[in-house]
Amino acid sequence: MSTISLRLSESLHQRVRELARREGVSINQLINSAVAEKISALLTEDYLEQRARRGARRKFERALGKVRDAAPEAADRLDAGDR
């Protein structure tokens, strides 16, 4: 376990304190969770960018060509939100 010194603006510290209290966790736990979520999001973005670079339009179109041409079911139609 590592220890770091973290400077927060007073308003941010107050919000963190309120959220931690509301969630029933310590400020430390809340900050750990927030950092973990941010790291996960950034790593996911990196992973998706790497996968996109490996993609090929030709392969995509070939796979798309295997999908049968059919009308979407009622629940999947773009105008389904009008229900």
22-64 residue pLDDT tens = 999 999 999 999 999 999 999 999 999 999 999 999 999 999 9
- Rg of the chain on CA atoms, in Å: 23
Does residue 56 contact residue 45 with C-beta atoms inside 8 Å? Answer: no
Task: Specify the higher pLDDT residue, 42 or 76.
Answer: 42
Does residue 19 contact residue 30 with C-beta atoms inside 8 Å? Answer: yes
In the chain, how many domains are there? 1
Which one, of 58, 72, 2, 70, lies nearest residue 31 by Cα? 2
Tell me if 61 is assigned to some domain.
yes
Tell me if 82 is assigned to some domain.
no
Note the pLDDT of residue 80. 57
Tell me if 21 is assigned to some domain.
yes
Tell me if 57 is assigned to some domain.
yes
Average pLDDT over residues 76-82: 74
Which one, of 54, 7, 53, lies nearest residue 31 by Cα? 7
Q: What is the distance, to the nearest Å, from the Cα of residue 48 to the centroid of all Cα atoms in its chain? A: 12
> pLDDT category, 1, cuts 50, 70, 90?
confident
